[in-house]
Amino acid sequence: MMNYQKYKRFETISLPDRTWPDKHIEKAPIWCSVDLRDGNQALVTPMKIEEKVEMFQTLVDLGFKEIEVGFPSASQIEYDFLRLLIEEHLIPDDVTVQVLTQCREHLIRRTFEALKGLDKAIVHIYNSTSILQRDVVFNKSKEEIKKIATDGCQLVKDLCGEFDGKVILEYSPESFTGTEMDYAVEVCDAVMDVWGATPDNKVIINLPATVEMDTPNVYADQIEYVGRHFKDRNRMILSIHPHNDRGTGVAATELALLAGADRVEGTLFGNGERTGNVDIVTVAMNMFVQGVDPKLDFSHINDVKHVYEKCTKMEVGPRQPYAGQLVFTAFSGSHQDAINKGIHKYRERGSKYWEVPYLPIDPADVNRQYEPIVRINSQSGKGGVAYVMDTIFGYHLPKAMQADFASDVQKISEAEGEVSPERIFDTFNKDYIENEQPLKFVSQKLIDISEDSSNDFEREAIIKLNDHGNIRIIEGYGNGPIDAAKDAFNRNGYPYMHLLDYSEHALTSGSSSKAAAYVCLRAKGTSITEWGVGVHANITTATIKAMISAMNRIYKRLDDSK
């Protein structure tokens, strides 16, 4: 047994009149990427300058307007990176860079040195206010901890006089979730008082779940609670900075937005300390699929993933929402069937809204393909195989034929595991189209005999075929090409045939297009039925080839049953 008694329940506030559960997310928050700081500080191999530049440019392209670029007083590389951004004019006018520093004099002074030349910046100061850290890390009283914050704020304010640009102050009571809520409010209000915050000169108050300590509703209660208790809610931007220790960072963020947060700090794909920061991609895309403009552009999600993996040397997992390799893939038969039908109906109806079973988002919206949606293994059914044949290769297999072909594919998957689309297509060709033994089509001629008054029929079919190595020419009559071809086989002793089903369609568009014909035959005097497929530019030829293909399969069945 694991020793669960070693842990105790997290104690929190009571907020019975909470309002957030009845709210909806109606607009995107202000996003701030902390990939280059919180994300970077957690990497086994922190990013090199070139990687930081690439990540920064990617974040700008995605639409982030606030980007925490580092902790410039912590190390030379962090300092140099900010200098490079400034000196090489890499920061667009509509983007504000943010820098983090502890509330310590030498670090704050060094931070301001790094900022020289910028026209605006967010200076983010923090100190831990939690019960645990006050005790074991700082060994200081509440007043002393508050003074670290207000002294830090005063120094930033003083240094603003020597800085040509505009400074926006951000203050984080680090480990906010482990802090008494009234005390967190007291410290933040004290910082805002020192700064002289007003509705026109707001301070960003960032309330981190530095360590995620309880269920997401508890974070939401904390955010709603403090939001109601600040001296003046209008003189601040309420920012959240969730981590993901319990695996519920995204949920906590969403609930905290309901609870009144204006701004979210997080990272791409949730990189960050331990189990990571909140994954901004998921939060933003979750808004997108609720019809809310996320104000970030993940329309080329694979490119974002590529930059992320290159810069962080971390991998995006195959089940990662929206970006994982497998998230637009269905292996199981009933899912494939429903996706296949859903996509057809969606296209057929020209629906305004995306509504496809098992696919909460259209993969095309993140520039991912339909093709990999359906992957075929032994769990797959006819719907999946039909989907592959249709969407990748353009063959609309008749519904009644799908089970027939899917059982051939399933035999392969049971023996070999996943079956690639190419293998499925090879099997289809081998089983139906290139199936030319013992009969092989050579040529056909269809003659219009409708004006020949001695004949009841309108068409004569003359079919040349190779039968067990011998060339034969057979003739038949009917009122249409199919009738006439059927008659030719019937009169000449082939294992014919009741034509049970027939369909055809064009395979490609344009003048050189080919047609695919599908026929289902039943051998005379037996219950044996087989499908055959023929492909040719001439539809009559395609149909006759399909009949021959079905007959060859009947011969094989008859042989096998001997």
Ligand X SMILES: CC(=O)SCCNC(=O)CCNC(=O)[C@H](O)C(C)(C)COP(=O)(O)OP(=O)(O)OC[C@H]1O[C@@H](n2cnc3c(N)ncnc32)[C@H](O)[C@@H]1OP(=O)(O)O
Binding flags for Mg ion, 365-404, as an x/- string (CB under 5 A): ----------------------------------------
Distances (CA, A) of 208 to 142, 179, 220, 288, 483: 19, 11, 12, 25, 77
Residue 44 CB partners (closer than 8 Å, separation 6+) = 313
Of 244 and 541, the one with the shorter C-beta distance to ligand KIV is: 244
Instruction: Work out what residue 336 binds among ligand KIV, Mg ion, ligand X, none; the CB cut-off runs from 5 to 8 Å by kind.
Output: none
Determine contact, residues 284/28, Cβ cutoff 8 Å.
yes
Extended strands (E) in 61-176: 66-70, 96-102, 120-128, 166-174
Chain centre distance of CA 119? 37
Tell me: does residue 174 bind ligand X (CB under 6 A): yes
Please report how close the Cβ of residue 174 comes to ligand KIV at its closest, in angstroms.
4
Instruction: Work out what residue 206 binds among ligand KIV, Mg ion, ligand X, none; the CB cut-off runs from 5 to 8 Å by kind.
Output: ligand KIV
277 annotated ligand binder: yes
Please report how close the Cβ of residue 152 comes to ligand X at its closest, in angstroms.
7
Of 273 and 467, the one with the shorter C-beta distance to ligand X is: 273
Tell me: does residue 138 bind ligand X (CB under 6 A): yes
Tell me: does residue 221 bind Mg ion (CB under 5 A): no
Of 276 and 495, the one with the shorter C-beta distance to Mg ion is: 276
Please report how close the Cβ of residue 219 comes to ligand KIV at its closest, in angstroms.
13
- Assign 3-state DSSP to the chain and report helix, strand, coil percentages, each to 5: 45, 20, 35
Q: How many helices (H) and strands (E) does the chain have?
A: 17, 14
- Region from 99-107, 316-324, 356-364, 395-403 binding ligand X, contact rule CB under 6 A: 99-107
Burial of 347 (0-12, 13-18, 19+ CB in 10 A): exposed
Q: Which two tokens stand for residue 544?
A: 């006759």
Query: Within 12-41, which residues bind Mg ion (CB under 5 A)?
Result: 38
Q: Cα separation of 447 and 359, whole Å? A: 52
Tell me: does residue 38 bind ligand X (CB under 6 A): yes
Instruction: Work out what residue 71 binds among ligand X, Mg ion, ligand KIV, none; the CB cut-off runs from 5 to 8 Å by kind.
Output: ligand X
Q: Cα separation of 131 and 541, whole Å? A: 84
Please report how close the Cβ of residue 105 comes to ligand KIV at its closest, in angstroms.
18
Place of tokens 């967010």: 122
Instruction: Work out what residue 421 binds among ligand X, Mg ion, ligand KIV, none; the CB cut-off runs from 5 to 8 Å by kind.
Output: none
Tell me: does residue 170 bind Mg ion (CB under 5 A): no
Determine contact, residues 548/439, Cβ cutoff 8 Å.
yes
Please report how close the Cβ of residue 243 comes to Mg ion at its closest, in angstroms.
6
Tell me: does residue 126 bind ligand X (CB under 6 A): yes
Q: Please, where are the H alpha helices in 71-122?
A: 76-87, 105-115
Query: Within 41-70, which residues bind ligand X (CB under 6 A)?
Result: 41
Which of 87, 57, 83, 58 minimizes the C-alpha distance to 70? Answer: 83
Determine contact, residues 537/515, Cβ cutoff 8 Å.
yes
Of 62 and 205, the one with the shorter C-beta distance to ligand KIV is: 205
Q: Cα separation of 535 and 548, whole Å? A: 12
Of 38 and 214, the one with the shorter C-beta distance to ligand X is: 38
Burial of 147 (0-12, 13-18, 19+ CB in 10 A): middle
Of 243 and 545, the one with the shorter C-beta distance to ligand KIV is: 243
Of 206 and 312, the one with the shorter C-beta distance to ligand KIV is: 206
Neighbours of 271 (CB within 10 A): 22
Residue selected from 206, 210, 244, 549 as contacting ligand X according to rule CB under 6 A: 210
Q: Which two tokens stand for residue 192?
A: 């805002």
Residues found near ligand KIV in the complex (CB under 6 A): 38, 100, 126, 172, 174, 206, 208, 210, 241, 243
Determine contact, residues 171/188, Cβ cutoff 8 Å.
yes
Of 175 and 410, the one with the shorter C-beta distance to Mg ion is: 175
Tell me: does residue 78 bind Mg ion (CB under 5 A): no
Determine contact, residues 307/315, Cβ cutoff 8 Å.
no
Instruction: Work out what residue 435 binds among ligand KIV, ligand X, Mg ion, none; the CB cut-off runs from 5 to 8 Å by kind.
Output: none
Query: Within 68-87, which residues bind ligand X (CB under 6 A)?
Result: 71, 74-75
306 annotated ligand binder: no
Q: Which residues line the annotated binding site for Mg(2+)?
A: 38, 241, 243, 277
Footprint of ligand X (CB under 6 A): 38, 41, 71, 74-75, 102-104, 107, 126-127, 137-138, 148, 174, 210, 273
